[in-house]
Amino acid sequence: MKVFSTFSFATRRDLSILFVAGLLFWSSLASLLPTLSLYLENIGSTPHQVGIIMGSFAIGLLLFRPWLGSVADVRGRKLVLLIGLVVVAIAPIGYLFVSSMPLLIALRAFHGLSVAAFTTGYSALVADISPLQNRGEVIGYMSLVNPIGMAIGPALGGFLQAEVGYTVLFLTSAGIGAVGLVCASGLTANNPQAVAMAVHSVDRLVKPDSAWRVIGSPRLRVPTLVMLMVGLAFGTLSTFVPLFIKEAEVNLNAGLFYTAAAIASFTVRLLVGRASDQYGRGRFISLGLVFYAVSMLMLWQANSAVAFLWAGAIEGAGAGIFLPTMISLVADRSLPEERGRVFGLCMTGFDLGIAIAGPTLGFFAGSFGYRGLFGLAAGLVVLALVVFVGFCSKTLADSVRYSLGSGRDVYAVR
């Protein structure tokens, strides 16, 4: 982490505040991960309804992330970041008062807005601060908030639900988010490169076909599509693992699955960011997809607590390699003044995958069972790997070389 010693005191301070706020954000969000689907089942929701409600989380991401990306470019990253923390501090309380399916869908969509705002502002601001030659390393270190939060949150949530019930769990989740909001209010960095270059005009915030032009451009089309397919796999994981463990009659706290994933993700992120600066993003994105596919196949065959924990650890390693490297790739392929919008739109692919996974694959759960859903998820990740290896650059030969680490990124902004 010697790279941080080269930064000014103000930059180091802002990165520290960002890190703490990110840790609190993900801890709050993840505290509900192993328990919310069980809560919905306990209040009478069917497996299909659980899938629809859980998948509604992504509605907020899909509706608001592109717009929030534009706001981050024009009005500043900090505003968007604070919006995410406000929502994550409010939404958990709503579960105490809402029980009908339409209201649960609306609340879950509102909760999803928190991720759309926070991750867009956080990623864009970290990318702004990071020097080009160390971008992967800094993004890798700053992305550690996700696995640490995912290690703390589910274990805390599972414990609180088992010992004191859902009311204390929801209040604790909201309280953690509120502390993160107070912390992030002390940020001084906002958008150091882009604000000076952006045109401060409402007209810049929304243009009818600008989103499709950005997503459809050669530099971003494949990353967005790959994120979509990985999002489908992740949506299956986050929605159905607790129910699958219960169905398989395995004696395992579902929170420990996510904790195993978070520990593995944390470990690999310490190494991958710096390595991607030196050896290229392509090979690590490919490697992350391989790990992800293997984890889905292991879940498809899992019958014991040990098997579930190993699958969780391998999934965490895959996510720890894939996600920060893909964020670095998108940062490489974007200009500072458009980075918020680019992050927002590319991550929409991941959001859409999560949105589709719950209701669509939940519909097939009755026919294939929860086990079969992970076999389908494995196929989707293999398809994502084929798409990336074959189409991530201008020609097939260039794509294969780049995805294996022996070629340069021809779409990177120099």
pLDDT of residue 206: 41
pLDDT of residue 20: 93
Indicate whether 200 pLDDT > 50. Answer: no
Distance CA 73, CA 198 (A): 7
In a domain, 165, yes or no: yes
Place of tokens 């000076």: 196
Residues 6+ apart with CB under 8 A from 203: none
pLDDT of residue 288: 94
Indicate whether 197 pLDDT > 60. Answer: no
pLDDT of residue 189: 63
Mean pLDDT confidence for 174-194: 80
Residue 95, judged by CB atoms within 10 A of its CB (0-12, 13-18, 19+), counts as buried
Cα–Cα distances in angstroms (integers) from residue 262 to residues 10, 147, 183, 350, 412, in the given order: 30, 4, 23, 19, 30
pLDDT tier at 59 (50, 70, 90 boundaries)?
confident
What CATH number corresponds to the domain at position 27? 1.20.1250.20
In a domain, 92, yes or no: yes
Indicate whether 193 pLDDT > 70. Answer: no
Cα-based angle 398, 401, 402 (whole degrees, multiple of 5): 85
pLDDT of residue 6: 66
pTM over 0.85: no
In a domain, 193, yes or no: no
Mean pLDDT confidence for 134-147: 83
Mean pLDDT confidence for 99-125: 88
Mean pLDDT confidence for 208-220: 66
pLDDT of residue 1: 57
pLDDT of residue 156: 86
pLDDT tier at 196 (50, 70, 90 boundaries)?
very low
Specify which of 134-138, 213-217, 321-325 reaches the highest per-range mean pLDDT. Answer: 321-325
Residue 158 vs residue 106, higher pLDDT: 106
Distance CA 319, CA 328 (A): 14
pLDDT tier at 191 (50, 70, 90 boundaries)?
low
pLDDT of residue 194: 46
Mean pLDDT confidence for 29-41: 81
In a domain, 413, yes or no: no
Mean pLDDT confidence for 333-349: 79
Q: Is the separation of the CB atoms in 308 and 245 below 8 Å?
A: yes
pLDDT of residue 215: 67
DSSP per-residue letters across 118-181: HHHHHHHHHHHHS-GGGHHHHHHHHTTHHHHHHHHHHHHHHHHHHHT-HHHHHHHHHHHHHHHH
Distance CA 302, CA 92 (A): 32
Structurally, the chain folds into a number of domains equal to 1
Mean pLDDT confidence for 373-401: 90
pLDDT of residue 195: 46
Q: Chain-wide mean pLDDT for the chain?
A: 82
In a domain, 408, yes or no: no
Among 81-85, 124-128, 208-212, 254-258, name the one with the lowest average pLDDT.
208-212
pLDDT tier at 75 (50, 70, 90 boundaries)?
confident
In a domain, 409, yes or no: no
Helix axes 305-332, 339-356, angle to 10 degrees: 150
Distance CA 286, CA 411 (A): 17
In a domain, 201, yes or no: no
Mean pLDDT confidence for 292-302: 92
Indicate whether 390 pLDDT > 80. Answer: yes
pLDDT of residue 358: 67
How many separate helices (H) and strands (E) can be counted in the chain?
Answer: 18, 0
pLDDT of residue 3: 59
Indicate whether 31 pLDDT > 80. Answer: yes
Residue 286 vs residue 254, higher pLDDT: 286
Length of the chain: 414
In a domain, 203, yes or no: no
Cα–Cα distances in angstroms (integers) from residue 219 to residues 137, 387, 394, in the given order: 22, 14, 9
pLDDT of residue 286: 95
pLDDT tier at 366 (50, 70, 90 boundaries)?
low
Mean pLDDT confidence for 298-316: 91
Q: Is the separation of the CB atoms in 76 and 184 below 8 Å?
A: no
Residue 3 vs residue 348, higher pLDDT: 348
Mean pLDDT confidence for 243-258: 82
Indicate whether 138 pLDDT > 90. Answer: no
Indicate whether 147 pLDDT > 70. Answer: yes
Domain span at residue 215 reads 2-188+210-403
pLDDT of residue 210: 57
Start-to-end CA span in the chain (Å): 25
Percent residues over pLDDT 70 in the chain: 88
Indicate whether 391 pLDDT > 80. Answer: yes
Q: Is the separation of the CB atoms in 392 and 408 below 8 Å?
A: no
pLDDT of residue 414: 66
